[in-house]
Amino acid sequence: MATLTKSLPRRRLSLRQQDARVGWLLIVPSLVVILGVTLWPILTTLFLSFYNAPAGLNQVQTFVGLGNYLALVRDQTFWETIGRTLYFTVVSVGLELALGMAVAQLIHSRPWGWKFLRISLIIPWAVPTIVNGAMWRWIYSADFGALNGLLMQLGLIDHYIPWLTLPDMAMNLIILADVWHIMPFVALILQAALATLPAELDEAAAVDGANALQRFWHIRLPLLRPAILVALIVRTVDAFRVFDIAYIITSGGPAFKTVTITYLTYLNTFSYGKQGTGAALSFMISIFTIAMAFAYIRFLYRPEET
């Protein structure tokens, strides 16, 4: 006790200082790893985006300022690719959210075998993307695929359809493969959030005469807003940057219809040797993803509900 009073004033001051010092010590290792690895590459890429930089040794790199960016903005292929990628993002994330919510509700209402259902959700999520892509590519195979086989046996089609050759279907097929892979993750997040909702609010509303749909829309959904926000941001950023799965299933075809914006970046940087354009594309991608993240936070984040 005596030591405490004697050292209290001194301790309070040094506690904040000590705090700050310790705080930095705790953060620095992570910052070192993250920035140490990414800072130079990001700066190099930014730098490169202002140049016409053909791949190769001893190549002349001409400064073009915003030239690469302007060229992209004027390029129809760029906007078509952005459009495709946005379509993929919106539909994919939308389906994952909607289906995930539905599955989460289903588990929440504890039907028979709900534990088995919840455990099973791990499986699609844990399958590596490469395997997922290869598996779905095989399922969609025009001559030997399971999709054709199944639809034929169910009598829904009378001859095999070359699914991946249909320009308007191909992207949807990739979306299906992605939804299968990711929806369980979203469902698990939402189900956990549902589990923490206070049951009394719901019961009180039921007593007041609200039916299931009203209870869902007006009570549960607002309370789930933070969870939905987390899922939305994480999934949107990742979905917009999709590359692996499109590459494996369709290699960007048919007729470029499944080339996403990251795929286009890859093509420019590695195949066409246009590193300046590739760099500009990657920054365009980050502009879009940051904008989307901000939009979500602005429209969905309500601090008072957390």
Partner 1 sequence: MRTFYKISLLFVILVLAVSVAGCRPAASTGPVTIHVLTMDQAGLKPAEIDQIARDFEAANPDIKVVMEYVGYDFLHDKIVTGMAAKPPAYDAAMIDVIWPDEFIKSEYLLDVTSRVTPEMKSGIFPAAWNGVTRGGKVYGMPWLMDVKYFMYNKDILQKAGLNAPPKTWEELADQAKAIKDQGLVEYPITWSWNQKEGVVCDFTVLLFGNGGAFLDDSGKPVFNNEKGVQVLEWMKKTVDDGLTNPSAVSSDEMAVEADFLAGKSAFAVNWLFQYSDSNDPSKSQVVGQVAFAPMPVFAAGAQAGIKGSSVDGSSSFAIMSTSPYADQTWKFLTYLTSHEVQTKFSAEMLPMWQNDFEGDNLAKLQAANPSNPVTIPAFMAQFPYAYERPTVPYYNEASAALQLAIQEALTGIKTPKQALDDAAAKWVQLAGQ
Partner 2 sequence: MRTRKFFGRLGLFLLTIPVLLFIFLPVLWLFSASLSTQVDLFSVPPHWIPQHPTLQNYLDIIFPSLAASSVPRTFAVALVNSIKIASAVTFACILLGSLAAYALVRIPFKHNRAIQIGILGTRMIPEVSLVIPLFILASTLELINKPIVLIIAYMSFALPYAIWMMAAFFQTVPVELEEAARLDGCTRLGILRRVVIPISIPGMISTAMFVFLLAWDEFFYALIFTSTLAAKTAPVAIAEFVGRYAVNITGMMAGGILAALPPVILGLIFQRYIVSGMTAGAVKG
Secondary structure of residue 128 in the 3-state scheme? coil
Question: 125, 189 in Cβ contact below 8 A?
Answer: no
- Of 2-41, binders to partner 2 (CB under 8 A) are 18-20, 22-24, 26-27, 29-31, 33-38, 40-41
- Of 94-153, binders to partner 2 (CB under 8 A) are 103, 106, 109, 111-114, 117-131, 134-136, 138-139, 143-146, 149, 152-153
Nearer to partner 1, 133 or 252 (CB): 252
Examine residue 86 and tell whether it contacts partner 2 (CB under 8 A).
no
Looking up tokens 């499986």 gives 123
- Of 228-257, binders to partner 2 (CB under 8 A) are 229-231, 234, 237, 241, 243-244
Distances from the Cα of 1 to the Cαs of 6, 9, 10, 15, 16, in angstroms? 9, 14, 15, 18, 22
Nearer to partner 2, 40 or 79 (CB): 40
DSSP line for 61-121 = -EE-TTHHHHHHHH-HHHHHHHHHHHHHHHHHHHHHHHHHHHHHHHHHT--TTHHHHHHHT
Q: Is the dihedral of CA 149, 163, 130, 107 positive or negative?
A: negative
- Of 147-166, binders to partner 2 (CB under 8 A) are 149, 152-153, 160
> Among partner 1, partner 2, none, what does residue 256 contact (CB within 5–8 Å per kind)?
partner 1
> Among partner 2, partner 1, none, what does residue 164 contact (CB within 5–8 Å per kind)?
partner 1
263: exposed, middle or buried (C-beta count within 10 Å: 0-12, 13-18, 19+)? buried
> Among partner 1, partner 2, none, what does residue 205 contact (CB within 5–8 Å per kind)?
none
Examine residue 191 and tell whether it contacts partner 2 (CB under 8 A).
yes
Which residues would be at the binding site for partner 1 (CB under 8 A)?
25, 29, 32, 54-59, 141-144, 162-167, 250-256, 267, 270-274
